[in-house]
Structure 1
Amino acid sequence: MKKEHFPIKIKFGLEVCYSSEYIKDIENIKNMYSFDFLVGSIHFIDGWAFSHKKQPWRKENYNLNCLYKRYYELMYELVESNLFSGLAHPNSLQCFGAYPIGDYDTEYSRIARALKENNMYIEESSGLATNYGDTELGMNGKMLKAMILQDVQILTASDAHIPQNVGNLICEMNDLIAKEKKRIWQMNDCAIGI
């Protein structure tokens, strides 16, 4: 396919679900092909497939603080693995309405710094809104702020599961990113007295 000519520029790559026990397999796949990108994602927490639509779960049955701590630990491992060019849909744990409760600013900053140091991007994804009916579009505000403050490249993605959803809500996400950047810049200008 890469030898074909298209009227638009197309990049070829994979989204790969990260799991530390499969690092060698991921490395082998990465080295076997000349992908333009390899984006890593977290769909499992210690063997539990939390985003499987046919196995919905209730947030009331779990300690969300423990789940999110482990989720962000795995995300950090993914970034530090040096296997990927980007981090896909970092909000996927909230697929069944399990929004992060508590303060995760330290985790967000740690992940953002690691992304920046490893020259990786992060996705602002509409996948949960489109595929699960999530009411929060993309990353939560605090995570988005951490990415902007660390100057992490943010790419929008629709995570379309059917062709009709390709590009869904991209403009809205670009607006969210632009508004948050403007808000942060204005706060910084006020803080230094400009």
Structure 2
Amino acid sequence: MLVDYHVHALAHGEYEADQAWLSAFVDKACQMGIIEMGFSEHDEFIAGLDLDIFQKLKMERQSDISLRLGIEIDYIPGIESDLIHKLSQADYDYSIGSIHYIDGWAFDHPDHKQGFFNQDIDEIYIRYAQILLQMVTSRLFDIVGHIDLVKIWGHRPQRKKAVDYLLPVVQAIKRTGMVVEINSAGLRKPVGELYPAGDLLALLYSMNIPVTLGSDAHHPQQMGEGLEEARAAARRAGYRTVIGFEKHRPTSILL
């Protein structure tokens, strides 16, 4: 069975999330056999999501699909009190914590990818892992979003493998009980692979860390894109279930 817990109907603020627009995502999800999905808007745009419209749609489509309300928050060290406030603004089913900035550098934005060419790649991975570790140990979130997003443009560390730099993060995830998403957006990016893939996904399974699935769709046409590949990768790693959430309570769903 498929779930999609990473969906942005508002994208980066360029769309209006009226009922017809939200329904377009739900329709596509149902066509793809997705049984549970969550709208998880970016924290800076989530005010544009009308919760009354969401709740109405949730009730109308409950026989077709289970809809969940989430939020994706950019974790930035030192502003935890602000993040706690954001998380309290609605009755969310789940929260995703993600790293999109390394000390103010929006490393995953196309306009700023040149930053990879004037810095040591290993040092970038080291700093990314440090911030990610802070995010995990903050215990603010249910899900770790696109855990190795730093590879987005295809840059790889040379002195160690990426999985070695991320090992302390994975160990902290195990201690805190967080869930890691298998995010298929990487298949649409220059790196051309899932976040996470290969040895990192294998490590997560070996440590019995639960996973969920997310397409990171920013448009109905992207809804569920790459989830079959994500499911196949999860099964190859050994997973037979993924995690869903309701009011921050995790439930297991057969793959």
Which segment is superposed worse, 57-66 or 144-153? 57-66
- After superposition, the Cα gap between the structure-2 partners of 1:179 and 1:62, relative to the gap in structure 1 and judged at 3 Å, is same
Amino acid at match of 1:149: S
Q: Percent identity?
A: 25
Distance 1:58 1:18, change over 3 A: closer
Structure having the larger proportion of residues in strand? 2
- Is 1:123 aligned to 2:201, yes or no? no
Q: Once superposed, what is the RMSD of the aligned Cα atoms?
A: 1.9
Deviation digits for residues 102-152 of structure 1, max 9, x if unmatched? 23444433222221221211111111222x243223314221122111111
Q: How many angstroms apart in 1 are the aligned matches of 2:174 and 2:231?
A: 20
2:216 paired with 1:159: yes
Structure 1 residues without counterparts, runs of 5 or longer: 183-194
2:99 to 42, 56, 69: 42
- CA 1:76 to 1:151, structure 2 compared with 1: closer, same or farther past 3 Å? same
Q: 2:124 aligns with which of 60, 67, 74?
A: 67
Cα deviations by residue, 1:157-186 (Å, 9 ceiling, x for unpaired) = 11112221111111111111211228xxxx
TM-score (norm 1): 0.85
Matched, 1:168 2:225: yes
**Does 2:85 align with 1:28?**
yes
Residues in 2 aligned to 1:108 and 1:61: alpha-carbon distance in whole angstroms: 22
Residue number in structure 2 paired with 1:113? 171
Q: How many angstroms apart in 2 are the aligned matches of 1:58 and 1:117?
A: 33
- Give 3-state SS (helix, strand or coil) of 2:187's partner: helix
Equivalents in 1 of 2:128, 2:86: separation in Å? 24
- Report how many residues are paired: 181
TM-score, with normalisation over the residues of structure 2?
A: 0.66
Alpha-carbon distance in structure 1 between the residues aligned to 2:231 and 2:79: 34
Tell me the distance in 1 between the aligned counterparts of 2:115 and 2:78: 28
After superposition, the Cα gap between the structure-2 partners of 1:104 and 1:128, relative to the gap in structure 1 and judged at 3 Å, is closer
Q: Please tell me the residue identity of whatever aligns with 1:171.
A: E
How do 1:73-112 and structure 2 match up within 5 A? 73-101=130-158, 102-112=160-170
Distance, in Å, in 1 between the alignment partners of 2:86 and 2:168 is: 28
Q: The residue matched to 2:212 in structure 1 has which SS? A: strand
Residues 184, 193 of structure 2: 8 Å contact kept: no
What is the identity, as a one-letter code, of the residue corresponding to 1:121? V
Structure 2 letter corresponding to 1:108:
L
Gaps of 5+ in 2: 1-50, 240-255
Hey, what's the Cα distance between the residues in 2 that align with 1:58 and 1:70?
14
1:26 deviates by 0.5
- Higher helix proportion: 1
- Distance in 2, matches of 1:158 and 1:53, equals 19
